Structure 1
Amino acid sequence: MRKLLAATLGILSAVGGFVDIGDLVAAGQAGARFGMAHTWVLLLGVVAICAYAEMAGRIAAVTGRAVFDLIRERLGARVALLNLIASYLVTVITLAAELGGVALALRLATGVPYLLWVPVAGLAVWLVLWRMRFQLMERVFGLAGLALVVFAVALWWLPTDWAALGRGVVLPTEAGQGWGAYWFIAVALFASTVSPYEVFFFSSGGVEERWSKADLADARFSVLVGFPIGGFLALSLIATATVVLRPAGVTVSSLEQVAHPVVLAFGAAGLAVAALAFFAVTFGAALETGLSAAYAAAQYFGWQWGKRVSPREAARFHTVLLVSVLLGVLLLLTTIDPVTLTEYMLIISAVALPLTYLPILVVANDRTYLGDRVNGRALNLLGAVILLVILAAAIAAVPLAIGTRMGE
């Protein structure tokens, strides 16, 4: 029973941690501008994150070491340093965007200007990372993030043309918005689904929770059930934006607009639940990105790391953690709009994706580390196809951003 409970909570944590500020913005924009035409992108992203998270979790369970730790050993210090620089910059920018999402969610709930909430959000994230146990932290915010199910409920409650939604899925079109903007949002949505920090956090979290070979089945079950349900919640965001925002000609530029379908369906109660969901998923993602930044640095330099380790024994790890949160807060205090920052973050993430996913595929095929637990042929084929998609997205991201003026 205890093992079943642990597996169930792992699934719920994966579900709650799947959607973050990038998914909220990208999914809202996709539905508002193109209807259900990007459903295939979301499905592809779910398959991709499942495949590579499974590899990362298996590496952690079999070796007892995190992926980034092995990347330096397997690929050498210079290649790993390039990976570290890219991943740290992307992760800190993502952390800033998530903190901005927390501040926007608090503004949605209170009406207080979001900039006043930014330092509060940063302090709260740091205190939770400093004091709360890893499993409790993951489960509290993961479970709270399930409040996003209100979007799926709203879709059933609202007068929805299900046949039209279905046609939008199977017959995608640019709908008069332009193919350049269509592909720009496709790249942004894909990048939001396979954010680099997710696999590093999943792997390092496995080490934090002391996974072993005996935990492989539970870890795989959590991945293959949790992430698809998280994908379903993201699909609900696209669908509600399609039903409510697209007919009104609304282009998503704030979380208020993302929440509007739920408010239309359930009034003030819907707004309260949406604000809670936005707060939970962005706060949870801020915790994950903050830890991921510190994990990457500590694992590269061989420092002691982990929330299980006391700050006195892992002082450099906790220093990087604190500095990363401060950098995120300072970036937001420049008054850059959090939604705009999120859009730029997604493009930067898309460019950096190959540096994250190629090393994972390499390590997952190394018998020196995994023995007979290396990838099978089917998973290698899937991983290679996904890697080609990742390379295509990385190559196309900047030209699309420039050519479409960030999707205008």
Structure 2
Amino acid sequence: MKKYLAVALGILTAIGGFVDIGDLVTNAVVGARFGLSLAWVVVVGVIGIVLYAYMAGKVVALSGRATFEIIRERLGARAALMNLGASFLMTLLTLTAEIGGIALTLQLLTGIVPLAWIVVATLAVWLVIWLVKFTWMENAAGLLGLTLIVFVVSFFVLGPDWGDTVDQITQQYPHPGEHPLTYWFYVVALFGAAMTPYEVFFFSSGAVEERWGRQDLMLARLNVGIGFPLGGLLSLGIAGSAFLVWSPEKVDVSSLSQVVLPVGEALGTIGLALVLIGVLAATMGAALETALSCGYTLAQYAGWPWGKWHRPAKAPQFHVTIIVCLLIACGVLATGVDPIMVTEFSVVFSAVALPLTYAPILVVANDPEYVGEETNGPVLNALALVYLVIIVVAAVAAIPLMVLTGLGS
């Protein structure tokens, strides 16, 4: 029974890690402007993150080594430094967006401006990392994040036109009234939001924290094979609800209040309370994951002791890295920068950084030195190579599309 409970909690945790502030904002913006005509991107992104996370989890279970330990070992210190720089900066940017998301959520709950909540949110993230056990931390975020299912419920309660919905989902061309470049910018942004690399950094490092071994391969498959698709379902619920409420009014979503308002319209005060709990849990969980991932990536590259099981005195560089990154994120937000804008930049740069870590994991997942006889089969490799091409194309296109469309405006 204990084993099955661990599997169930792992699945719930995957849901909490999938839907962060980037997914909340990006899916709502896309839903309001494009309806469900970009639902196919969410499906593509979910399959991609399942592949990516499964290969990383398999490598950990069979070799006992996390992502950046392997990247440095395979590429060498100099080549891996480029991977580290891009991935670390992207994760730090995402951490900044998540802390901003916590502050915005607390503003909706209290009416107090988000600037006042930034220090509180930063301190709360640090205290949880410092005091709470790893398993309790991830399971609490995942369980509370399940309340985001109200987005899916709201979509049905709001009463979509099912014929129109099917037409949108099957539409595979630029949306009427939108410039094709804008359409493709949001394709890349939605893909980047679904395949954020920090999810895999945290997933693989968390597997080491939990001492995964060969016997945990099935646990890895269940975590990624069920948890991430459920997270994708929540993303579609966010987009669909935003479409039904905001598209008829021709309103562009630009605030977190607009993201959650469709739930309030559909389910009233109780629904609004539940969605705010879910958003707070999702942003808090993602802030914990990104803060830890900053420490994981740098410590793994540098060969420092790392992990929450180490007391600060035993892994000082790891813990100091987390504190410094939290202070940087807090300082950036204290300048008054819009957290929503930070979020939009973070999902674009996630797409840019993705190939630098995906490619090495794909190589190692086929190396018997690391995984023994559990190398990728021909079907898995074929699919993984298709995704490598998609990831590279998205990475190359991301910044030009961002510039040409003015961040999708």
TM-score by length of 1: 0.99
What letter corresponds to residue 28 of structure 1 in structure 2? A
Deviation at 1:377, TM superposition (A): 1.1
Name 1:125's counterpart in structure 2.
Answer: 125
Name 1:93's counterpart in structure 2.
Answer: 93
Name 1:153's counterpart in structure 2.
Answer: 153
Deviation at 1:65, TM superposition (A): 1.1
1:27-106 mapped onto 2 (5 Å cutoff): 27-106=27-106
What letter corresponds to residue 302 of structure 1 in structure 2? G
Deviation at 1:365, TM superposition (A): 1.3
Name 2:211's counterpart in structure 1.
Answer: 210
What letter corresponds to residue 44 of structure 1 in structure 2? V
Q: Secondary structure at the match of 1:280?
A: helix
What letter corresponds to residue 122 of structure 2 in structure 1? G
Q: Secondary structure at the match of 1:235?
A: helix
Q: Deviations over 1:223-281 (max 9, x none)?
A: 10111011001110011111111111111111101111111112222221121111110
Give me the whole-angstrom Cα distance separating, in 2, the residues matched to 1:398 and 1:156. 36
Deviation at 1:98, TM superposition (A): 0.3
Aligned length: 408
Deviation at 1:346, TM superposition (A): 1.4
Q: Deviations over 1:186-238 (max 9, x none)?
A: 11110010001011110000000000000101111111011101100111001
Q: Secondary structure at the match of 2:372?
A: helix
What letter corresponds to residue 35 of structure 1 in structure 2? G
Deviation at 1:175, TM superposition (A): 2.4
Name 1:227's counterpart in structure 2.
Answer: 228
Give me the whole-angstrom Cα distance separating, in 1, the residues matched to 2:357 and 2:191. 15
Name 1:315's counterpart in structure 2.
Answer: 316
Name 1:244's counterpart in structure 2.
Answer: 245
Deviation at 1:141, TM superposition (A): 0.7
Deviation at 1:2, TM superposition (A): 1.2
TM-score by length of 2: 0.98
Deviation at 1:400, TM superposition (A): 0.7
Give me the whole-angstrom Cα distance separating, in 2, the residues matched to 1:79 and 1:221. 33
Give me the whole-angstrom Cα distance separating, in 2, the residues matched to 1:168 and 1:118. 39
Give me the whole-angstrom Cα distance separating, in 2, the residues matched to 1:134 and 1:41. 32
Give me the whole-angstrom Cα distance separating, in 1, the residues matched to 2:38 and 2:22. 15
Q: Deviations over 1:55-113 (max 9, x none)?
A: 00001100111121111011111111111111110000100000000001111111110
Give me the whole-angstrom Cα distance separating, in 2, the residues matched to 1:161 and 1:185. 24
Deviation at 1:367, TM superposition (A): 1.3
What letter corresponds to residue 143 of structure 2 in structure 1? L
Name 1:186's counterpart in structure 2.
Answer: 187
Deviation at 1:25, TM superposition (A): 1.0
Give me the whole-angstrom Cα distance separating, in 2, the residues matched to 1:310 and 1:38. 45
Give me the whole-angstrom Cα distance separating, in 1, the residues matched to 2:138 and 2:21. 17
Give me the whole-angstrom Cα distance separating, in 1, the residues matched to 2:373 and 2:159. 53
Give me the whole-angstrom Cα distance separating, in 2, the residues matched to 1:171 and 1:70. 41
Give me the whole-angstrom Cα distance separating, in 2, the residues matched to 1:104 and 1:291. 22
What letter corresponds to residue 357 of structure 2 in structure 1? T
Name 2:285's counterpart in structure 1.
Answer: 284
What letter corresponds to residue 324 of structure 2 in structure 1? V
Give me the whole-angstrom Cα distance separating, in 1, the residues matched to 2:164 and 2:376. 41
Q: Deviations over 1:127-151 (max 9, x none)?
A: 0000100000000011111111011
Name 1:347's counterpart in structure 2.
Answer: 348
What letter corresponds to residue 214 of structure 2 in structure 1? K
Give me the whole-angstrom Cα distance separating, in 1, the residues matched to 2:347 and 2:313. 35
What letter corresponds to residue 42 of structure 1 in structure 2? V
Find out whether 1:111 has 2:111 as its counterpart: yes
Q: What is the percentage of aligned positions where both structures have the same residue?
A: 51
Query: Once superposed, which parts of structure 1, at least 4 consecutive aligned residues long, lie more than 3 Å away?
Result: none
Cα RMSD after superposing both structures? 0.9
Give me the whole-angstrom Cα distance separating, in 2, the residues matched to 1:303 and 1:270. 45
Give me the whole-angstrom Cα distance separating, in 2, the residues matched to 1:254 and 1:30. 13
Give me the whole-angstrom Cα distance separating, in 1, the residues matched to 2:265 and 2:389. 41
Structure 1: gaps (5+ residues)? none
Q: Deviations over 1:381-401 (max 9, x none)?
A: 111111111111111111111
Name 1:294's counterpart in structure 2.
Answer: 295
